[in-house]
Structure 1
């Protein structure tokens, strides 16, 4: 696994005093977080702890109610082309795949390159085929998403995110809709990306991935980050009672 690249003068993403409400619910509470180039950050916690919401604020799929988020020292854009460019730079992989059902696997990976990056179609197709091969679904390029397993669809979604040549990848519970065998397929791809030194923020229930691939583990509960530590430290000696209870409950499953 590559080492975290913390010698870059400007962190890639900084959240300062971030708060988010959903009606009366305080979904994110006073979040301070710095993510450096090349870091893999696993975000874990019990259900409704705010892990997915935190992930989604970083490319403004969720708006915040207070605080600031910067990317490369610049405030997160709020709309228009600047926001489109940001979302190309910060790729997102969703739990529900979000593929275009009426387009082939190949077209799902080609289309964003052509429409957002203005990549010539021939170049985009060559890139798409190479990426589909890389994530193990190259043989299915001409099929439609409905003809693929969930694990295959999620690997197509990862290829689509990679096609934009993002500087950072966000994963929002990428395996929660998958059975164990499909989960293993997707985690294999994610482990490879982590080993390449890609910047990744992964909201996940897969504690094995957090332990083996992450540089840092964030443990969240009730919208707060209660622990931000190395995997070794967090899993061996959790400090907060909530983390101890969470790990004990998981161990009994």
Structure 2
């Protein structure tokens, strides 16, 4: 079974002790190691996207493009629409108007075409969403067998390889309740990778973890970024955002107010709203 080139080759030491998340020093993403972007068009595109929850206008004229191999980190205050925007990209949330395209094709509305798209767009949530009544290995192989029609032996080989690469291969026979939160989230990332997605969405994947477990999940995400996986990450981890992102999007009140490279965003925010946000989050 050939695993895609995007697959992780080596992960950092998961047992490494860390500082508080706001103080964490993360490894640089060398410019020379950044993947060559596909110039034929964006992998993900949102154009004039609008979304309401009843009378609440949660997404306001969202326009965004993400290239193949790009790591886009979305930050902003709670309630700004970050998670909703992320969830619209694989249609976990519908939109009221506008268009979302994956590789130039509009997002399917429903049915088999939507199921096929979701197989190409991996997602990791705040909660781990593992099946409590299945072992870790069964959690890993279910979708590749059912959706990708992968032979069971190939699916198990791929699952064990990915579990090894996120440092939890010894947990394969255990139930999710027997794992720590950090271990479960690493399994959730490996499970998404088992579908060999073209893009990975992360919706605040560390927000439900104890501080000492955060780094082991960020280590995996950093390795993915370094190896060229296209990623859209909603997070409050500013250290990760600064070190791993190609671009940072700042959202507030349902709008994208800024998109810039990390150094410019953190050192020279363009809007007073972003400056206020950074002054609060970076000093606590």
Taking structure 2 as the reference length, the TM-score comes to 0.88
Q: Distance between the aligned counterparts of 2:158 and 2:95, measured in 1?
A: 35
| In 2, Cα distance between equivalents of 1:252 and 1:13 | 34
Instruction: Determine the C-alpha separation between the residues in 1 that align with 2:216 and 2:206.
Output: 10
1:134 aligns with 2:159: no
Distance 2:182 2:113 in 1: 32
SS at match of 1:166: coil
In structure 1, what is the equivalent of residue 195 of structure 2?
Answer: 164
State the 4+ residue runs in structure 1 displaced beyond 6 angstroms.
none
- Extract unaligned runs of 5+ from structure 1: none
Q: CA deviation at 1:181?
A: 1.4
Query: Is structure 2 residue 130 aligned with structure 1 residue 99?
Result: yes
Q: Given the alignment of the two structures, is residue 202 of structure 1 paired with residue 233 of structure 2, yes or no?
A: yes
SS in structure 2 of the partner of residue 15 of structure 1: strand
Q: Please give the per-residue CA displacement for 1:68-124, whole angstroms capped at 9, x wherever unaligned.
A: 011111110111111111111000000101100000000000001001100000000
Q: Which of 106, 110, 114 lines up with 2:145 in the alignment? A: 114
Deviation at 1:5, TM superposition (A): 3.6
Which of 107, 111, 125 is residue 80 of structure 1 equivalent to? 111
| 2:87 pairs with 1:61 | no
Structure 2 runs not aligned, ≥5 long = 1-28
User: How far apart are 1:4 and its partner, in Å?
Assistant: 5.3
- RMSD of aligned Cα (Å): 0.8
8 Å CA contact 1:5, 1:39 repeated in 2: no
Q: Which residue of 1 aligns with 2:181?
A: 150
Shift of 1:233: 0.4
Query: Aligned partners of 1:206 and 1:102: how far apart in 2?
Result: 32
Counterpart position of 1:21: 52
Give the distance between the partners of 2:38 and 2:203, measured in 1 at CA.
27
- What residue in structure 2 maps to residue 249 of structure 1? 280
1:128-176 CA deviation, whole Å, 9 max, x = no partner?
Answer: 0110010011000000001111100000000000000000000000000
Q: Distance in 2 between the 1:67 and 1:95 partners?
A: 27
Report the TM-score, using the length of structure 1 for normalisation: 0.98
Report if aligned partners of 1:16, 1:33 keep a CA contact under 8 Å in 2: yes
